[in-house]
Amino acid sequence: MYKTVSTLGMDRSEWLRLRRTGIGGSDAGAICGLNPYVSAMSVYKSKVSDDVDDEDNESMRQGRDLEEYVAKRFCEATGLKVRRSNVMYRSREYSFMIADVDRLVVGEDAGLECKTASAFSADKWRDGQVPPHYLMQCYHYMAVTGKKVWYIAVAILGRDFKYARIEWDDKTVWSLVQIEKAFWERHVIPHVMPVPDGSKDCDDVLMDCFPGGKKAPIPLIGFDEKLKHREELVSQIESLEAEQKQIEQEIKLYMADNEAAYADGYRISWASVDSVRIDAKRLKAEKPEIYESFSNTTTARRLTIKAA
């Protein structure tokens, strides 16, 4: 059903290169359009790019460091035992599907995914709920390994610990495999971008792939209705922003010199904030050598749309 590659002692850069050769569990939710933080376009970029993206931040670091703690808490809460697998799984039937799992459950045909979440995300785990993109991650692992159960445990930092048991579902697993198969065969293999989705990831990928340089205008065919709809959206947004601003101004008028207020379910602050800005124009005029030393030129393409 699957083959494995040992990750024990594997260099991180080598592990990242291996991840580029298939769709992993953390990619599944994004490809399905369920991940609020990562888009399908971002997954596409990570698979077709020649660069190995070693993105890291404090949240990701804490998630790795606290993985063992979450696993121990799971064992305490359930009485089950878990172990590391130290391998990367690859489906034999669908070779584009890979899995690098956190833990396997000893004595049960099951695995465990360990998560950490901030207190602000606690509502997403309320009443046994599992965020949809994490649910897809677990179904992806079941699809690759063939295991019929996957547990997910989360430490909600400073607040709570929860876990859930997810059982194999034929319809869900089959649908997920088909979505991933289509993504791999229609986009990754032929290097064809997914349909734009409005995300920042999409903007970044388009900028990276198309740096520009061709100055001659081209006819924009097939966009008449979309351009008209965009104008309608711009008008609606401007109207809504004006309405929002009016409400905020009414609140300010009511608060007068008071810097804090409260209402049912809301806390309002209108406090003075000091900020320091460099007068770039003056600095360039009076200290041009310093201005030049600290200047950093960046290039970006800016889209402007004006009615003819």
| Three-state secondary structure of 6-53 | ECCCCCHHHHHHHHCCCECHHHHHHHCCCCCCCCHHHHHHHHHCCCCC
Segment 10-26 mean pLDDT: 90
**Is a pLDDT exceeding 70 seen at residue 278?**
yes
pLDDT in tens, 114-171: 999 988 889 999 988 999 999 999 999 999 999 999 999 999 988 899 999 999 999 9
Give the whole-angstrom CA distance, residue 305 versus residue 308. Answer: 9
First to last CA, the chain: 60
**Is a pLDDT exceeding 80 seen at residue 247?**
yes
Q: Does the CA dihedral 243-249-251-253 come out positive or negative? A: negative
CA angle 109, 111, 114 (to 5 degrees): 160
Could you state, in order of their start, the residue ranges of all structural domains in the chain? 2-209, 225-272
pTM of the model as a whole = 0.78
Segment 78-100 mean pLDDT: 96
Farthest-apart Cα atoms in the chain, separation: 74
Segment 243-262 mean pLDDT: 96
pLDDT of residue 307: 77
Segment 65-80 mean pLDDT: 95
| Class of domain 2-209 as given by CATH | alpha beta
State the CB neighbour count (10 A cutoff) for residue 160: 13
**Is a pLDDT exceeding 70 seen at residue 250?**
yes
pLDDT in tens, 191-217: 999 998 888 888 888 888 888 889 999
175 SS3 class? helix
**Is a pLDDT exceeding 70 seen at residue 56?**
no
